[in-house]
Structure 1
Amino acid sequence: MPTPKKRTLTLHSRPASTLGVIVLRVSIRGIEPPIWREISVPETYTLAQLHRVLQCVFAWLDYHLYDFRIGRKRFVPVVNKMPGIDTAVTTLASLKLKRGARLIYTYDYGDDWEHDLEVVHVAREPMNPRAIPMPRVLDGQRAAPPEDCGGPLGYARLLEALADSRNPDHDQAHYWVPRGFDPAVFDRPAADHAVVLACAWGAI
């Protein structure tokens, strides 16, 4: 009688879930020395959510309209009632962004703040099912301009007034910026904390 063969049991480990993370370098156009931020954002985020992240990292107050442009495509919030693709339903993953891809983010059509966004890195990270994917502020340089200061040209004039006590607008200029404002300083931990709080409050 033949000896029965032993059965071997092969265990297949289930692949861990991963989350796509996009690292973006964001620079404000028309300002020297450059003002920029480097942020990581989950690819599941919509452009509307990315807008709110950018509002936090540049300390904007979200008073004005905005849009994103990628090539000839324009993405707008539906409340703008302007032609374009809805930012609330367009995820970063759907854009299939690769390293080196570029976007333009415009905020406040009066001051016309244009931001250049460049994809620095695209990665997949293990996903913790108990944790909520969250954007983070990784790096940056220089303080952001205050809201409604007149765009790049207005900001340049504001800095001139702040730096010169003999400037006729010197005293008034201090009303536009927070106490202790230093245009050369970027407080990365504070910006990152603002993003984390906004996520916790459901504002992103």
Structure 2
Amino acid sequence: MSGLLSTGAWLRERTDPLDAEAAGSVIAARYRRPDGQPTRLFVDEVLPRVTAAANTEALAILLAIGAATPESTGEAARTSATVLAAAGVPAPSWADELAEPITATGFRLLRRTTGLAAGKTAVLCGEFVRAGRRHILAVRLNPLRCGEAAGIVTLRTDLGLDRAIAQVQAGATRDAAGLGGKELDAAEFRWEVSEALAIRAAHEAADLLLGFRPSSDPHGQDVPGYHATALLLTGRLQALPTLRHQPPRPHTAACDELIRIVARRSPTRHPGPLPARWARQEGPAPLYQITVNMRGARQPIWRRLEVPADLSLARLHAVIQAAFGWQESELHEFETPFGTFTAPDPDGPDPDFPGPAPDWPDTRTVSLGQVLTGVGSQIVGVYLLENEWELDIELAKISGRTTGASDPRCLDGQRAAPPEGCQSWDVYEEFLRILEGEDADPDSEESYERLTEIGLAEATDFDPRWFDLEAVNADLSRLR
């Protein structure tokens, strides 16, 4: 709160409302989940505390957030700002200008036509005017990544769009010369920018799925980063007309395949809210008989488990690890029709990538009965995120329970799971060929090195055909 109010003090001394929008977009972007939605922490904690300060700094923050955030969060900030203004809290000097309508006066698509950068660079420019102040929002496109939005900058200028472009052309270096322009109408500009933002979002979703973490903003906190400026730009686009009958811009073939993988890994959400957890006053929860299959195995690797329906997904993860003979690891997630639930990072948040927001439901807060709602329903478990062992989990049977206690147990299964040191099915198949003596002598130094990398001392330490029901249940009993 002290940091926010310090920003409010800085805003109080500004004169240009664009400063307020830039600051508001930075604040709002900090309180967003990886899927781009605002966190409940922001709505339920931050905004009420700012409002409770009831001074000019607080009013400046609320006005800034309300102007920069187009969705319901912005509406909540604007409502709180109205309450403070009605109570007599002095407004910053730019408040009246901020309330003035914004007019869009011109749009261009600029491309380099000569030099080394010919055909490799494109920029979308839109000019906007409010209370006599002109500014340009420029979106740089990256043709090597399907034309995604690579960066967004805000230019304050009194020259106007045409003169500003002419000035850039006049000062261009030889390699960057030949900046050709194409005039767009408002609907075309909205479509072009919306597509660039959407492609960037699709790529970031794929990157997150693959474990790539976006780096922190290299400009620091004083200059809005991409996601913050994208919020401000999205608000501008909503005031523009839409373009009809325009197909989405295609991805490259390789990228398109990756996007399809992301779609398969992101189940469609259930139309209703997440069901309530089983309440103790309702009596013992029923028993679930679930079948857990390893996806991608050439020969079936599976376990049939009996667990209580009120078992948390975090506890289910521990049960699955024991049933498959894996060691304790907290890296896991479950993909369900109600969304994806992820284990919190045991090492705490990464400053460059904070991961799920504090209010993002994690596997400790959701029970199996909430996401498997009937016989035949399915979820996907992902164990060891860097390896991505995927497990198809299906509810096969529901039975009653007469007592309040029921320890998880294994009913049946087939074959051993891959050693955790195998990072993919390809590595596992290579490992099996070593065991069978097809690729190399199992007793050779080369085979020893490969086995060591996987975590085994010698080939006889692993039998892919192994499944011992009694031993599995002994491991499960240690979880009690």
Contact 1:19 1:43 in 2 (8 A): yes
Which residue of 2 is the match for residue 170 of structure 1? 447
Deviation at 1:103, TM superposition (A): 0.6
Amino acid at match of 2:290: L
Which residue of 2 is the match for residue 82 of structure 1? 356
Tell me if 1:111 matches 2:392: no
Secondary structure of the corresponding residue to residue 334 of structure 2? strand
Tell me if 1:197 matches 2:197: no
1:101-155 deviations in whole A, cap 9, x for unaligned? 011000112211001001111111211x5xx321000100001111121222211
Deviation at 1:184, TM superposition (A): 1.1
In 2: Cα distance, 1:68 partner to 1:34 partner: 21
Which residue of 1 is the match for residue 326 of structure 2? 60
Structure 2 length-normalised TM: 0.35
In 1: Cα distance, 2:407 partner to 2:330 partner: 24
1:94 to 370, 375, 393: 370
Tell me if 1:69 matches 2:345: no
1:162-192 deviations in whole A, cap 9, x for unaligned? 1107616433455444745221121111011
Tell me if 1:139 matches 2:412: yes
Structure 1 length-normalised TM: 0.79
Contact 2:341 2:363 in 1 (8 A): yes
Amino acid at match of 1:154: V
1:60-96 deviations in whole A, cap 9, x for unaligned? 1133511000136101123373265211111123335
Which residue of 1 is the match for residue 421 of structure 2? 148
In 1: Cα distance, 2:318 partner to 2:419 partner: 16
How many aligned residue pairs are there?
180
Contact 1:19 1:126 in 2 (8 A): no
Contact 1:68 1:104 in 2 (8 A): yes
In 1: Cα distance, 2:372 partner to 2:388 partner: 27
Which residue of 2 is the match for residue 120 of structure 1? 396
Structure with higher helix content: 2
Secondary structure of the corresponding residue to residue 23 of structure 1? strand
Secondary structure of the corresponding residue to residue 97 of structure 1? coil
1:16-68 deviations in whole A, cap 9, x for unaligned? x5440111100111111110000011112100100010110111113351100
Q: Which has the larger radius of gyration?
A: 2
In 1: Cα distance, 2:451 partner to 2:323 partner: 22
In 2: Cα distance, 1:96 partner to 1:147 partner: 27
Secondary structure of the corresponding residue to residue 86 of structure 1? coil
Which residue of 2 is the match for residue 185 of structure 1? 466
The verdict on how the C-alpha distance between 1:147 and 1:180 changes in structure 2, with shifts beyond 3 A counting, is closer
Tell me if 1:31 matches 2:308: no
Contact 1:27 1:115 in 2 (8 A): yes
The verdict on how the C-alpha distance between 1:191 and 1:177 changes in structure 2, with shifts beyond 3 A counting, is farther
RMSD: 2.2
In 1: Cα distance, 2:372 partner to 2:384 partner: 27
Contact 2:326 2:419 in 1 (8 A): yes
In 1: Cα distance, 2:428 partner to 2:372 partner: 35
Greater mean alpha carbon deviation, residues 188-197 or residues 93-102: 93-102
Secondary structure of the corresponding residue to residue 327 of structure 2? coil
> Where do 5+ consecutive residues of structure 1 fail to align?
1-16, 200-204
Structure with higher strand content: 1
Contact 2:336 2:371 in 1 (8 A): no
Contact 1:64 1:109 in 2 (8 A): no
Secondary structure of the corresponding residue to residue 328 of structure 2? coil
Amino acid at match of 2:448: D
Which residue of 2 is the match for residue 202 of structure 1? none
- Superposed structure 1 runs of 4+ greater than 6 Å apart: none
The verdict on how the C-alpha distance between 1:173 and 1:61 changes in structure 2, with shifts beyond 3 A counting, is same
In 2: Cα distance, 1:153 partner to 1:96 partner: 31
In 2: Cα distance, 1:173 partner to 1:159 partner: 11
In 2: Cα distance, 1:50 partner to 1:125 partner: 18
Q: Which has the higher contact order (CA 8 A, sep 6+)?
A: 1
Contact 1:67 1:77 in 2 (8 A): yes
In 2: Cα distance, 1:157 partner to 1:184 partner: 16
